[in-house]
Structure 1
Amino acid sequence: MENRNDKFRRKHFYVIDRLLIKLATAAVVLLLVVQVLLVHGEARKYLSLVDKLEGEQITSPATMYAADVPLPNADRTMNTVNKVVAKSMRTLRPGKKITIRMINPPAGVDAIVTVNGETVGNFGKGEVELTVYEGDYIEIDAVRIKKTAQFIIDTHKNDLVYPVDGILLENQSNLVVVGKVIFKR
């Protein structure tokens, strides 16, 4: 009886071992095929979830060197280089034009527009036209204006979710927050 059970066990273990070896070989071959397909860009976008979620690829310009940046003093070396690289990276992204008009009080240089903390213009001509990028943060500094100031945002019917085209902003304090720029997808 034991001999018969041993034969039965050996036969099943032999079948299971062969099946496992075939499955392991098929898995390795499938892995190699998928890896080869991931090398090619066209197949990669269908096989890789990371590439779909990653967004646009940004390449930095090859000619950007720290030696190209004029350095006024040693303390501002890193800050100057970072600003130049950040500005060159922004030019690789798609931007949209918006206009901010100052309606009340009439045109004056007392208010300035800042994008991401950097001054980009003043209301000397009554309006400021800027190019904005996804994720930029826009503010209007109206500290020197004594009266209530009003501003209208004109997005030129671009594909922007925010700021909304034609929105009227009024300063309740010294700083008018336009907000973060959001593009339609």
Structure 2
Amino acid sequence: MGMENRNDKFRRAQFSTIDRLLIKLATIAVILVLVVQVLLLNGETRKYLSLADKLEGEQITSPATMYAADVPWPNPDKTTNPVNKVVAKSIRSLRPNKDITIRMITPPSQADALVTVNGEAVGNFGKGKVDITIFDGDYIEIDASQMQTPAQFVIDTHKHDLIFPADGILLESQKNIIVVGKVIFKK
């Protein structure tokens, strides 16, 4: 019996030593995981710690999204088929859009000045302003090249969530085409 008690005590001592060691290792492992996770939050340290970031290579920005309406129709005779125009406009109407107003300040009105969206004339300033519906990625210009006097225009975005053009921007023309630019919606 004495031998069994001694072996039993030895085993208990071994198990308690192993238990303490396992608890310490588990605690160290949890602390190490937390430290590594905090380090992975920083972009600089992540590229050294994460194998996926090393293997991914250079990050690139995605190209601008193209919509079906932005792709030109194949037209060998350079005239747009009315059916194709209707189809393109119906495809565009499915996209999110905003209404903006471009007002002519000086002179108060002039039918010679035009607003073009993606190269198509959408209105003139005969009434002093042009209301247009725009889509993300549209390209807006004001053609004041036929005007004899300098002109000023203001863009009113009606407080829509637009990155560009900015609300209340003032544009001036000296018998030229004013590039308003590419429309960018807030995401």
User: Based on CA coordinates, which of the two structures has the bigger radius of gyration?
Assistant: 2
Unpaired runs of 5+ residues, structure 2, are 1-61, 70-75
Residue of structure 2 equivalent to 1:126: 128
Deviations 1:84-130 (A, max 9, x none): 22111100011001000000112120101110011111111100001
Percent of matched pairs sharing the same residue: 64
Q: Which aligned pairs between 1:44-63 and structure 2 lie closer than 5 A? A: none
Deviations 1:128-159 (A, max 9, x none): 00110000000011111111110000000000
Q: Distance in 1 between matches of 2:122 and 2:91?
A: 17
Q: Distance in 1 between matches of 2:99 and 2:162?
A: 10
Q: Are 2:176 and 1:177 equivalent residues in the alignment?
A: no
Q: Are 2:103 and 1:107 equivalent residues in the alignment?
A: no
Residues 1:93 and 1:55: Cα distance change in structure 2 (over 3 Å): farther
TM-score (norm 1): 0.57
TM-score (norm 2): 0.57
Residue of structure 1 equivalent to 2:89: 87
C-alpha root-mean-square deviation of aligned residues, in Å? 2.9
Q: Distance in 2 between matches of 1:137 and 1:59?
A: 16
Q: Distance in 1 between matches of 2:68 and 2:146?
A: 41
Unpaired runs of 5+ residues, structure 1, are 1-52, 61-73
Q: Distance in 2 between matches of 1:89 and 1:151?
A: 30
Q: Are 2:148 and 1:146 equivalent residues in the alignment?
A: yes
User: How far is the alpha carbon of 1:83 from its aligned partner?
Assistant: 2.4
Residues 1:84 and 1:183: Cα distance change in structure 2 (over 3 Å): same
Matched length: 120
Q: Distance in 1 between matches of 2:63 and 2:118?
A: 23
User: How far is the alpha carbon of 1:76 from its aligned partner?
Assistant: 6.2
